[in-house]
Chain A
Amino acid sequence: SQTIHQWPATLVQPVGSPLSLECTVEGTSNPNLYWYRQAAGRGLQLLFYSVGIGQISSEVPQNLSASRPQDRQFILSSKKLLLSDSGFYLCAWSAIPGFSEAFFGQGTRLTVV
């Protein structure tokens, strides 16, 4: 069966420090991969999505970047964190665009201090 792993679960980082959140999927090939930020009152904001290795689409201008070095690995990064980067980040995957269910990771609570 397919599973999605996202880590770490919580992270406290100082302003100006780098960030790397990792997400891996098991049990499927060539998934679509997504990074979302979940904020109270703003719902789920799509940050990045990827339909293949090295293919990244960015949805909103921000201090973050994403990479997909392997088929089932999706990484969210920042070179220098801002206070406004604090939030709850969710990784997700789906098998077929449009018709397929998206499966979500447990999420990472990031606090920038």
Chain B
Amino acid sequence: AQRVTQPEKLLSVFKGAPVELKCNYSYSGSPELFWYVQYSRQRLQLLLRHISRESIKGFTADLNKGETSFHLKKPFAQEEDSAMYYCALSFGSSNTGKLIFGQGTTLQVKP
């Protein structure tokens, strides 16, 4: 069965420290992977998608098919990065529209 796992419920770091939010997935086909972010009192929104290979707000994520991982990284955390982060998996153009999420990780960046 398809699954997304985020092993950490809470990640607490100091400002300026590196950040890595872990995400592992289970899917036998070609996945489409995303990171979504929810800032306090705001709607859940897309942060980045693996197909774009982009850096957003200093965050990057690389798809590792061998390890079935899509970890989110940032070299120097900022206080404004504090939020809930969700890793998400979709199943490509031949899918039936299914989009599933992990359990979420709360990132707390301390001053």
Bound complex: CA of A94 vs CA of B91, how far in Å? 13
Q: How many residues of B contact A (CB 8 A)?
A: 28
For residue B51, CB closer than 8 A to chain A, the reply is: yes
Q: Is the CB of B100 within 8 A of A32?
A: no
Interface band, chain A: 20 to 34
Which residues of A53-109 have CB atoms within 8 Å of chain B's CB atoms? 57, 59, 90, 92, 94, 96-99, 101-107
Contacting residues, chain A, for B28 (C-beta < 8 A): none
Q: Is the CB of B93 within 8 A of A98?
A: yes
Q: Is the CB of A99 within 8 A of B99?
A: no
For residue B68, CB closer than 8 A to chain A, the reply is: no
Bound complex: CA of A83 vs CA of B27, how far in Å? 34
Q: Is the CB of B90 within 8 A of A97?
A: yes
Which residues of B68-97 have CB atoms within 8 Å of chain A's CB atoms? 86, 88, 90-97
Contacting residues, chain A, for B93 (C-beta < 8 A): 96-99
For residue B32, CB closer than 8 A to chain A, the reply is: yes
Q: Is the CB of B51 within 8 A of A99?
A: yes
Bound complex: CA of A105 vs CA of B38, how far in Å? 12
Which of A50, A98, A103 sits near B92, CB closer than 8 Å?
A98
For residue A25, CB closer than 8 A to chain B, the reply is: no
Output the nearest chain A residue to B99 by Cβ-Cβ distance. Answer: A102
Where the two chains meet, the residues of A that have a C-beta atom closer than 8 Å to any C-beta of B are 32, 34, 36, 41-46, 49-51, 57, 59, 90, 92, 94, 96-99, 101-107
Nearest 5 interchain pairs by C-beta? A43-B103, A44-B101, A32-B97, A51-B97, A43-B104
